[in-house]
């Protein structure tokens, strides 16, 4: 416990480096917390600058700033089934946010110290919070009424609900992972394994397993039925702070002090890929609902998005971008829609490097044909030729359905008129 406090003090005392170009920047310090919405369209972050921010995943831009904490924000979560979110911070409070009104709906302040973790139940009615008062607390999101207090022998640092909402899994500074029944707050299991702080944990969608990471530089896989450890995984150079499970529960993504992301195969315990994500610590990670993309939140104040199959960073802005931007002045109805495409694709073969291939000669070009671009295996193996019909299908069905395995972020245009306008404007922009 003493070392954990010293680590936090040292982190806070360091001088901030300039924020690097990245997918999502805006926090005035390290990003401590990260969540992706159930539909994959929104990203929620919490930072050392006392703020919570909501982002558009596709455009990778800030939608709103929520500023009502009086200390660093340590944890954030979306509330399923409503335009609400939760955040917890060093100020000892948990806030329920109304995302439509962009303001706090209520504030919960029964913890006697820092609140390190917060989560919403799958049905969106109950919230859990864990803090440095050696307690996890269950409360009614709608009324703010406290339902149960779960006493721990040490400070609580992580928690997650099982998918049926019947159990809460907590992690603590003593290295233990515990299971609690939500209806009455009864302790069900006490699982020991980590030699030090449990920094984060996640539960599989079938509720059968949980995974935890800690400052002892290990990931540990747990059987939630028999309440026993299944595996210990090592690979990070130092403490691990973030972890997320794939939708099928077969893979995991972790991030730690070494600035690396590791994509794990949980069946074999092997490392699928190591990504050098940040120069400084990764504090939190999240996965999109389809498991194709991972997001990392860093000490450098940035949130970055990664295509896990290739390890490529998605949405990296071009440096020194002085290319012409005709869509900013065009009156064509598709010009405004094209702005999303412009973030990832250049209109020139000599243009700045972007996360997608250039659009020169797009119509009539075979998919995967731009020399020097690192395509996904799915696109390299396709026989698609880009035409009015195929481009329309791509945006109508969504890239993940039209070409399963592509690293193009999920984007769909459901409005037929808007879709027709965008495809026509693409034709105008890319014709010889």
Q: Could you read off the pLDDT of 394-429 as tens digits, one per residue? A: 889 888 788 887 767 667 788 999 999 999 999 998
pLDDT of the residue at 191: 97
**243-258 pLDDT per residue, tens:** 999 999 999 999 999 9
Domains of the chain plus CATH, in order, are: 2-314 (2.130.10.10), 326-430 (1.10.760.10)
pLDDT confidence of residue 23: 72
Phi, psi values for residue 115, rounded to 5°: -105, 120
For residue 224 the two structure tokens come to 């939630």
pLDDT per residue as tens digits for the range 319-341: 445 678 888 888 899 888 887 78
Phi, psi of 184 (to 5 degrees): -130, 0
Radius of gyration for the alpha carbons in the chain, expressed in angstroms and rounded? 22
Residue 390: pLDDT over 70: yes
What pLDDT was estimated at residue 306? 93
Structure tokens that stand for 229 in this block: 């450890």
Q: How far is CA 133 from CA 36, 129, 130, 375, in A?
A: 28, 11, 8, 50
Q: What is the dihedral of CA 87, 88, 94, 95, to 10 degrees?
A: -30
3-state secondary structure the chain: CHHHHHHHHHHHHCCCCCCCCCCEECCCCCEEEEEECCCCCEEEEEECCCCEEEEECCCCEEEEEECCCCCCEEEEEEECCCCEEEEEECCCCEEEEECCCCEEEEEECCCCCCEEEEEECCCCCEEEEEECCCEEEEEECCCCCEEEEEECCCCEEEEEECCCCCEEEEEECCCEEEEEECCCCCEEEEEECCCCCEEEEEECCCCCEEEEEECCCEEEEEECCCCEEEEEEECCCCCEEEEEECCCCCEEEEEECCCEEEEEECCCCEEEEEEECCCCCEEEEEECCCCCEEEEEECCCEEEEEECCCCEEECCCCCCCCCCCHHHCCCCCCHHHHHHHHCCCCCCCCCCCCCCCCCCCCCCCECCCCCCCCCCHHHHCCCCECCHHHHHHHHHHCHHHHCCCCCCCCCCCCCHHHHHHHHHHHHHHHCC
- The model's confidence at residue 310, banded by pLDDT at 50, 70 and 90, is confident
d(Cα 378, Cα 308) in Å, to the nearest integer?
Answer: 13
Whole-number Å distance between alpha carbons of 227 and 114: 29
Which tens digit of pLDDT belongs to each residue from 24-76? 988 988 999 999 999 999 999 999 999 999 999 988 889 999 999 999 999 99
pLDDT (mean) for 207-224 = 97
Residues 233-292 pLDDT 10s = 999 999 999 999 999 999 999 999 999 999 999 999 999 999 999 999 999 999 999 999
Contact 172, 159 (CB under 8 A): no
For residues 324 and 140, the model is more confident at: 140
Q: Hey, which residues does 85 pair with through a beta bridge?
A: 78, 97
């Amino acid at each position: 416990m003493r070392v954990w406090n010293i680590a936090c003090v040292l982190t806070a005392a360091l001088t901030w480096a300039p924020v690097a170009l990245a997918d999502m920047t805006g926090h005035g310090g390290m990003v401590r917390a990260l969540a992706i919405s159930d539909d994959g369209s929104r990203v929620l972050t919490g930072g050392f600058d006392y703020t919570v921010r909501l982002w558009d995943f596709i455009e990778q831009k800030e939608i709103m700033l929520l500023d009502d904490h009086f200390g660093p924000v340590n944890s954030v979560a979306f509330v399923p089934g409503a335009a609400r979110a939760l955040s917890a911070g060093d100020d000892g409070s948990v806030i329920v946010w109304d995302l439509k009104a962009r303001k706090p709906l209520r504030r919960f302040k029964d913890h006697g110290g820092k609140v390190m973790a917060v989560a919403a139940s799958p049905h969106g009615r109950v919230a859990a919070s864990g803090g440095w008062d050696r307690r996890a607390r269950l409360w009614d999101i709608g009324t703010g009424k406290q339902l149960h207090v779960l006493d721990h022998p040490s400070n609580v640092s992580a928690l997650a609900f099982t998918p049926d909402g019947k159990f809460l899994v907590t992690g603590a500074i003593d290295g233990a992972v515990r299971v609690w029944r939500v209806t009455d707050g009864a302790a069900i299991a006490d699982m020991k394994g980590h030699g030090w702080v449990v920094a984060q944990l996640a539960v599989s969608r079938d509720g059968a397993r949980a995974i935890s990471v800690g400052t002892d530089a290990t990931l540990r896989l747990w059987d939630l039925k028999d309440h026993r450890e299944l595996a210990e995984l090592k690979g990070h150079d130092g403490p691990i702070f973030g972890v997320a499970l794939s939708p099928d529960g077969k893979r995991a993504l972790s991030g730690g002090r070494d600035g690396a992301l590791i994509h794990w195969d949980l069946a074999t315990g092997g490392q699928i890929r190591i990504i050098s994500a940040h120069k400084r610590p990764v504090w939190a990670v999240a996965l999109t609902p389809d498991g194709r993309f991972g997001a990392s939140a860093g000490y450098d104040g940035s949130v970055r998005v990664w295509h896990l199959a290739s390890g490529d960073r998605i949405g990296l802005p071009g440096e020194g971008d002085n290319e012409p931007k005709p869509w900013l002045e065009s009156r064509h109805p598709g010009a405004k829609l094209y702005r999303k495409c412009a973030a990832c694709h250049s209109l020139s073969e000599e243009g700045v490097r972007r996360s997608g291939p250039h659009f020169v000669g797009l119509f009539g070009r075979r998919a995967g044909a731009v020399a020097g671009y690192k395509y996904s295996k799915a696109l390299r193996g396709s026989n698609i030729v880009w035409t009015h019909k195929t481009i329309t299908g791509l945006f109508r069905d969504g890239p993940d359905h039209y070409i399963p395995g592509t690293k193009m972020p999920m984007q769909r245009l459901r409005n037929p008129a808007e879709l027709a306008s965008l495809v026509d404007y693409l034709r105008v922009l890319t014709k010889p």
